Structure 1
């Protein structure tokens, strides 16, 4: 463990693939002496890159348990497939480490509670990798909601239109899968690539509830006002995968506020990801990947620069917990996990095919696009409606379900 005055010892589990992004964040902090990168772990070969080197003295391992025993890190960054998060996290906590755990942290509320209990018992903390929560633009939007600039918030929605190739779904054994090795994997559009869009909506909703800027502050059945009480879900796919690449989800919170996500990985024109907040006094739009924000009275979108890096925030919190709260603690993601669990229990996605889908490219670079999908998703987000409610010809009847309520320390 770190001695007095020494920088915290950091290990990264999952050092290839998306792990390279974490290595690019870690590298300058290591060079500046703010942390010591003691280990990289991956079942694949770990290769150095110009902006992601393997510093001298950094151990390279294929087994995280061997690494924990050999290096005793203070912080473990976990960037592995979602269905592996919990066992690796529990091992790291037992070894005395704090966590930076990629999203989604876990795939059920039971696992969420298990992780929360382990953290509490060991006196450790976990930061969850929803990096867009560190956005200054989000902070400004939340402040505007709290200050009443939008009046009473009546709806929150998000729209995003991305593309993914056939190669994307061949990137790993868990890609496009509903489960793997007997555990949920759920590599769907709402849970993995566009999870940030859903989490941003929940963050804004929580701020609106905290400010009293919603219709009511208690659910009729006792559901907490910022917790999803009901879910309506339409799931679609354009490929022989087990999860959705296109989805429309509407969650109704305990306060009655609807939160709608209309997203696709089979899009036409690129829509980075917009969070739309509708209020009785105005409308706000946050393009969360680029931190462009439009508030009531603004002539158009404006960039609001600045993001607090989640690893730096975790290090600062470790140094002074009272003065520096975590931006994305595990507790903040409980409502998201409840939705993930509900999505996991939903029926298989409906196939959209034939003339409704356009194919471009070949081999691993092939892309499938649903005709007219962008207009449909934008209308859904604008009206707070599901695709079936808009009369989209290939839309199916939504799956409706109650969402499990938070209990204990979840």
Structure 2
């Protein structure tokens, strides 16, 4: 039995797959939750099937139970809703990221332990056969010790993207809950997480950053950043470089290169195969995005079994640590100079880009550098932040 929390946006994608497969697979959608259900394209079908829609998850649990709760609500609701579902003895598939802050992920992990249930986090690449095959080869030592993993992802977004809801681009909501919406914590969070995930020693674990320095910028009229350059180091000394923007004029990525002692793993776009390059030849791991909802079907199957999810809270924590540390590294987001910001189109739907930004970030990627290290005029260096004992955002500790 399943309850789906959030039936608009990504929730509508889950819902469409559940409804399309309701006769083919062994599950029962017993309820949905959304305070604004009219945004759901399948609302009429839900009503025709007599599947109830509740405004709050508490209302659902007041009348029903569920073996699995799929949480597809905005970032700042993930922690409270996951903890409630666990308290009511549901396993959980929570959309990425796990939560906005480290302290929330740690709270979710404690609730998971107390409930004796599991939480899967929907970083879909982690559930794909492509990434699992690559991770197995890395664990087996095929590529040798990791040296540097880096990713470049430029995905222009217009003003409408930041107006699609009441939390896009924000640091907090009206009640003061942390959101930290950004490319690194939303659209491209998968790509940051994946660099930690493939270095995990077990299927359900990931490497963790112990240090981060970041440069954060914005061109859009938002509270948080739309462009970032991050350098992290893991506990084993592996360098992780991440370059992302919603304000570059070029749409490219994810482009990545994972460099090891004996070879490298590379990809060059959304429809690109992931390929490994070794002295013995080339290995094709295929395209991980071919199975975007494998995470949901795996979670449904594992409710009945004993296996842990491919990606749970333990594996997802590295991405949250990196994002929180990045925000601490550069608490005041730097605004791009007005003279290099280009706006085109009708107000409310304008394309907002930064002249030359794509070229700068590509050079950074090629040179393994941050913009400030290349002497870019508009760049502002962030401070190095230790994540070794980081348990609370902002500052790393409750007293920080």
Q: In which range does the TM-score fall when normalised by the shorter chain?
A: 0.7 to 0.9
**Whole-Å separation in 1 of the counterparts to 2:254 and 2:166:** 27
> Could you say which residue in structure 1 is the equivalent of 2:358?
374
In structure 2, which of residues 260, 285, 294 is the aligned counterpart of residue 309 of structure 1?
294
Q: Point out the more displaced range, 239-248 or 107-116.
A: 107-116
**Whole-Å separation in 1 of the counterparts to 2:388 and 2:311:** 22
**Whole-Å separation in 2 of the counterparts to 1:101 and 1:138:** 20
Unaligned runs of 5+ in 2: 392-400
CA 1:272 to 1:225, structure 2 compared with 1: closer, same or farther past 3 Å? closer
Shift of 1:263: 0.6
Instruction: For residues 309-345 of structure 1, give each alpha carbon's deviation from its aligned partner in whole angstroms, at most 9, with x where no partner exists.
Output: 1111112222121xx4311111111222222322343
Shift of 1:50: 6.7
2:57 pairs with 1:64: yes
Instruction: For residues 84-138 of structure 1, give each alpha carbon's deviation from its aligned partner in whole angstroms, at most 9, with x where no partner exists.
Output: 1111112211222111111111222222221111111111111101111122222
Instruction: For residues 279-336 of structure 1, give each alpha carbon's deviation from its aligned partner in whole angstroms, at most 9, with x where no partner exists.
Output: 2333221357446112216679874465371111112222121xx4311111111222
In structure 2, which of residues 150, 153, 157 is the aligned counterpart of residue 160 of structure 1?
153
> Could you say which residue in structure 1 is the equivalent of 2:183?
189
1:182-221 aligned within 5 A: 182-207=176-201
Shift of 1:406: 7.0
Instruction: For residues 144-194 of structure 1, give each alpha carbon's deviation from its aligned partner in whole angstroms, at most 9, with x where no partner exists.
Output: 434544343210011100011111111222111111111211111111111
Instruction: For residues 56-77 of structure 1, give each alpha carbon's deviation from its aligned partner in whole angstroms, at most 9, with x where no partner exists.
Output: 1210111221112122122111
CA contact (8 A) 1:251 1:260 kept: yes
CA 1:302 to 1:233, structure 2 compared with 1: closer, same or farther past 3 Å? same
Q: Point out the more displaced range, 27-36 or 387-396.
A: 27-36
In structure 2, which of residues 344, 364, 387 is the aligned counterpart of residue 403 of structure 1?
387
CA contact (8 A) 1:377 1:387 kept: yes
In structure 1, which of residues 383, 387, 391 is the aligned counterpart of residue 367 of structure 2?
383
1:87-102 aligned within 5 A: 87-102=80-95
2:247 pairs with 1:266: yes
CA contact (8 A) 2:228 2:243 kept: yes
2:311 pairs with 1:328: yes
Q: Give the secondary structure class of the aligned counterpart of 2:223.
A: coil
Q: Give the secondary structure class of the aligned counterpart of 1:331.
A: helix
Q: Point out the more displaced range, 247-256 or 101-110.
A: 101-110
In structure 1, which of residues 4, 18, 24 is the aligned counterpart of residue 10 of structure 2?
18
Q: CA RMSD in A?
A: 2.6
> Could you say which residue in structure 1 is the equivalent of 2:164?
171
Aligned length, in residue pairs: 383
TM-score (norm 2): 0.88
**Whole-Å separation in 1 of the counterparts to 2:360 and 2:43:** 40
> Could you say which residue in structure 1 is the equivalent of 2:238?
257
CA 1:133 to 1:97, structure 2 compared with 1: closer, same or farther past 3 Å? same
**Whole-Å separation in 2 of the counterparts to 1:118 and 1:233:** 31
Unaligned runs of 5+ in 1: 1-8, 212-223
In structure 2, which of residues 132, 136, 152 is the aligned counterpart of residue 139 of structure 1?
132
CA 1:397 to 1:304, structure 2 compared with 1: closer, same or farther past 3 Å? closer
Q: Give the secondary structure class of the aligned counterpart of 2:49.
A: coil
Q: Give the secondary structure class of the aligned counterpart of 1:32.
A: coil
Q: Point out the more displaced range, 229-238 or 351-360.
A: 351-360
2:28 pairs with 1:31: no
Q: Give the secondary structure class of the aligned counterpart of 1:268.
A: coil
Q: Give the secondary structure class of the aligned counterpart of 1:186.
A: coil
> Could you say which residue in structure 2 is the equivalent of 1:247?
228
In structure 2, which of residues 250, 259, 263 is the aligned counterpart of residue 282 of structure 1?
263
